[in-house]
Structure 1
Amino acid sequence: MFFCYIPNFQRYFLHRTHVKSLPKIDTFIETSVSTKRPIPVSVLREEIVSTYPYWATRELLMNAIMHRDYDSNSPIQFYEYDNRIEIQNPGGLYGKVSPENFPNVSDYRIPFIAEAMKVLGYVNRFSRGVYRVQKELKENGNGEAHFDFSLRTAFRVVENISKKYFEEGFGADTPENTQEHLEDRENAQKTPRKNPENTQKTPRNVQNEIIELIRLNPLITRRELEALLNRTPDSIKYHLSQLTKKGFIKREGSDRAGKWIIIE
């Protein structure tokens, strides 16, 4: 019988596993969880709002990975409901941390994982991440995250969906967001008004204009679209993404030498 002893095997195994999985988790939060859209702030300015802000949501999930009890067979649970996200990791508050001093005091079950994740940029400066999370959630319209300390062998956090994201009927199945209402609103905008400079375009109108500009010039760039439509880079990026997802347009070739194709 042959035995092979590897010093710090658990440390090596956890390190290799995290290096492979953390980038995928990061991408998952950004592309599948944090749905974004622009909302008008003024006639010439828009603000990008997410259902769940990318950085704050990523920080909460990365904290669950960092603070979990790796002696437990229970997995980290990430549930997305219609109105909230729940993240739960095995292992409650650890060491010096208690419900009374959280989040002002930090302690770590496996310090080298905490240090590695900090160096790699997956968690914020120790003891400061929660404050930034709460600030970002409030600014995005989610309200503060709720931390549940009642579970003895687990730690749970609840992040509510952004109310700001669903303002003005966007993103929800409301009368203001139905096809009929959008058509009525589009027709109404074609009617001359006393103050046309105060009229704000709907996302549908912006996307129609993008399609027409692409039809005239398939080689048009994002910067040219921004200038012609008087939109922010994030706004143009969002509308191009939506048109691509809906199957109206597609990109052929590289960003520099490629062109847009309208799918009839």
Structure 2
Amino acid sequence: RVEEYFVSEASMREAILNAIVHKQYESGVPIQISVYKDKLYITNVGKLPDHWTEETLYQKHGSKSYNPNIAHVFYLAGHIESWGRGIEKIFDSCIENDLPMPKYYINPTDIMIEFDAPQRLVIDNFSKVTNRVNDTMNKILESLYDDPGYTITELANIMKMSRKSISNNIKKLKDLGIIERVGNNKKGYWKIKR
């Protein structure tokens, strides 16, 4: 069910097909799919065609495949259309299934699409976690649901508490197995596990 996975089958299919057709295979880096309880990311090494911007993706646009031979095979097999409606199909499916619109992140070496869970699912998951923690820990979790990239210093500023107090409560959340740190202190993020 869409409500259970928060990404429709049509959106997932089109996002993966886009990643396959537009990937720069010479990089040797595989397409990466990261699945969390409230987010799903699909990342591939690639770049926009010359003179395209992020805004071009959100508008009606033609198809400029990085791998025209792969695109042609997919077209002949009936998996894609010849004139680049993949992103439009992703957006249409999200609207049809009452799901949040995905976000694209255009980086110098890769392109990533992020699907977010509807707020109703985030709240359901959040209530299952928060009955095991104190008020401060709840507030930290609320902030991390908004932005998993917050640092301890930023959380201390937001909550108007000492860094030591935030650190202690973060440690409790980690000890309970509710959160874990992914990556380093500067460029990492907090993953809410349950």
Please state which band the TM-score falls in when normalised by the shorter chain.
0.5 to 0.7
Structure 2 residue 110 is matched with structure 1 residue 154:
yes
Aligned with 1:129 (options 86, 90, 93): 86
**What is the number of residues matched between the two proteins?**
126
> Given residue 157 of structure 1, which amino acid in structure 2 is its aligned partner?
I
Q: Superposition pairs for residues 1-264 of structure 1, below 5 Å?
A: 35-36=1-2, 51-95=6-50, 97-103=52-58, 104-149=61-106, 151-163=107-119, 166=121, 172=125
By relative contact order (CA 8 Å, sep 6+), the higher-ranking structure is: 2
> Given residue 81 of structure 1, which amino acid in structure 2 is its aligned partner?
Y
Gaps of 5+ in 1: 1-34, 38-48, 176-264
Normalised TM-score (structure 2): 0.56
> Given residue 135 of structure 1, which amino acid in structure 2 is its aligned partner?
D
Secondary structure of the 1:71 match is: helix
In the alignment, is the contact (CA less than 8 A) between 2:10 and 2:89 conserved in 1?
no
What CA deviation, in whole Å up to 9, does each residue of 1:102-125 have, x standing for no partner?
252421222111111122233345
- Aligned twin of 1:200: none
Residue identity over aligned pairs, in percent, reads 21
In the alignment, is the contact (CA less than 8 A) between 1:50 and 1:162 conserved in 2?
no
What CA deviation, in whole Å up to 9, does each residue of 1:21-63 have, x standing for no partner?
xxxxxxxxxxxxxx446xxxxxxxxxxx852100111100110
Gaps of 5+ in 2: 129-194
In the alignment, is the contact (CA less than 8 A) between 2:14 and 2:89 conserved in 1?
no
Who wins on radius of gyration, i.e. which is larger? Answer: 1
TM-align CA RMSD: 2.7
Normalised TM-score (structure 1): 0.42
Relative distance call for 1:99 and 1:36 in structure 2 (3 A) is closer
